[in-house]
Amino acid sequence: MLKRLIVHELFTKQCPYRLEHFTVQEDTSSFQLCRLTFLVSLQLKLNINSTTLFVIGMYKYLARSFPDFGSRGIVVGYDTRAQEASGCNSERLARLTAAVMLCKDIPVFLFSTYVPTPFVPYAVKRLGAAAGVMVTASHNPKEDNGYKVYWHNGAQISSPNDKEILKCIEESSEPWSESWNESLADNSPLRSDPLREISKMYMEDLSSVCFHRELNTKSPLKFVHSSFHGVGHDYVQQAFRAFGFPPPIPVPEQKDPDPNFSTVSCPNPEEGESVLELSLRLAERENATIVMATDPDADRLAVAEQSDSENSVCRWKVFTGNELAALLGWWMLFNWKETHPDPADRERMYMLATTVSSKILKAFARKEGFHFEETLPGFKWIGKKIHELESIGFLCGSMVPDKDGVSAAVVVAEMASYLYNKNLTLHQQLENIFETYGYHISTTSYVICYDPPTVKRIFTRLRNFEGENTYPRSSGGHSIVDVRDVTTGYDSSQPDKLCVLPMTKSSQMITFTLQNGIVATLRTSGTEPKIKFYTEFCAPPGKSDISSLEEELKKVTDTLVEEFLEPDKNNLIRRSI
């Protein structure tokens, strides 16, 4: 079962001292609590107050929701972010979170050191906790910090729980006096450290996705890994050992935690080759074939593969998130079929992807006869769907119901090792996948807009493009045959014109399906002042003129951005990396 390995959820830059989320609405009191991100600047007291009030609100809601909250408790983890000027770092925010819960006699599983984000939802499930909190801003700028909140099933919280927590926060006017007692995190008998137990169980559970351990032990491949100044180094090393590999070669300049992210312009490995420079040069010196990079909280993964040299200069293929999804989806399917040769077993198999991810998994399902389901963007929705499927016994391989760069890294390593043993590279196998299931060529990018009224005006215009309640009819010279607007709940492809996906009034997202097979989506980021755009050409098997597909996709994408978003007119900031 492919999940947690698709890497498209992002983050935001917040107001320094308000629990308010960037949104396209005039009323900015609406926000998604699945990741509450805020600037930690010189406004230390205000931020600490806000943090404490947030945790008090969360306590109130959890106490109402779980009669056994006092025995189940909560998991709290943190990354390595720190703001030297204010002295407010992730560890301190985690200890304050623990103190609020402990002062109300709630057991707290507080990790004694920094951990990858996926350890928190994993611990919630394994320990039977009511909820979990991870203090992290993922790959945000260094000035930021924030929370990710998990429900008892290990999935990020979603509606209605997020809205109910917000109500509880609004009911709390002042922090409790006892909530400032940080010493409770050290002295309370209700505080325990799950680090050793969870690390051991996590590494043991990785065996569920390890299929060729004996081959791994003999693999001649060399791997380079960068943790991007974050938490990933030790855990990726352990994961490789669990699979029988020698540990990957670390990038020394980026191996240890550094909250200033001093060697990268942007601590997001998804930005591609420009931020992988140190990793690629080290791989060339070490004659390593594969480069991997996890983001600072180790829930995202980037992969590059060395291709043939040209004029003594190494060339690298940096895989997109959609390409990795295709490879990992194929790998899970391949190994499932090896252990479940009866085609009838595929009736019990599901693959999930968000609606802005590649449709390649849908093509797998159509050809191979298993189930495919699409969710709204964001891993909270995938986690929620995983829980629904688990409840009826149809899910396979649900170790962490969230993004997990640690397990993804070692799974990619095993896949690469297996393919190289068959004289295939990852890139060659990707081509094989496209030849079998159809080429899926995609583009993902964004523009930045800090002005919510402008964002609202852009999407209002699209909904009244050629008169009231009419959407655009063409783009790049191609007719638009279907429009889906999850903000309003409209879908022209459905008989009743209603979206199958849940309506999300608090964010903007419109998808256009063109006559030539291109699918294009415009959406606001749930956690960042960005308008993202996704376009994909889904060609049928047998159509392999890649250059013409790419040319057509670029033409449509450029036209869509210029005509629908009007970046110059609306003073939008184009992506710079």
Q: Based on the number of CB atoms within 10 Å of its own CB, is 516 exposed (0-12), middle (13-18) or buried (19 or more)?
A: middle
Q: How far apart are the first and last CA of the chain?
A: 33
* Cross-strand bridge partners of residue 77: 134
Q: Which residue has the tokens 């996704």?
A: 534
Tell me if residue 75 falls in helix, strand or coil. strand
Q: At what angle do helices 405-421 and 321-339 cross, to 10 degrees?
A: 70
Q: Tell me how crowded residue 456 is: count the other CB atoms within 10 A of its CB.
A: 16
Paired sense of beta strands 530-538 and 518-524, if any: antiparallel
What the block records as the tokens of 426 is 């990852």
The DSSP line for 312-380 is TEEEEEE--HHHHHHHHHHHHHHHHHHH--SGGGGGG-EEEEETTS-THHHHHHHHHT-EEEEE-SSHH
d(CA 577, CA 575): 6
What is the sign of the dihedral through the CA atoms of 115, 118, 121 and 126?
negative
What is the sign of the dihedral through the CA atoms of 365, 371, 376 and 377?
negative
d(CA 379, CA 362): 18
* Cross-strand bridge partners of residue 464: 470
**Peptide bond before 160: cis, by omega within 30 degrees of 0?**
yes
Query: Looking at 138, 357, 358, 442, which residue is catalytic?
Result: 138
| 507 among known catalytic residues | no
3-state SS record for 107-140: CEEECCCCCCCCHHHHHHHHHCCCEEEEECCCCC
462 secondary structure, DSSP code: H
Cα angle: 455, vertex 510, 365; to 5 degrees: 145
Closest CA to 124 of 102, 145, 99, 148: 148
73 neighbors 102 (Cβ within 8 angstroms): no
d(CA 337, CA 357): 24
User: 480-484 long-range CB contacts below 8 Å, 24 or more apart?
Assistant: 480/512, 480/513, 480/514, 480/515, 481/513, 481/514, 481/515, 482/512, 482/513, 483/510, 483/511, 483/512, 483/513, 484/510, 484/511, 484/513
Compute φ and ψ for 465, nearest 5 degrees.
-70, -40
Paired sense of beta strands 474-475 and 478-485, if any: antiparallel
What the block records as the tokens of 501 is 């996906």
Strand residues in 396-547 grouped as ranges (E): 440-448, 474-475, 478-485, 490-491, 509-514, 518-524, 530-538
Tell me if residue 27 falls in helix, strand or coil. coil
Active site residues: 138
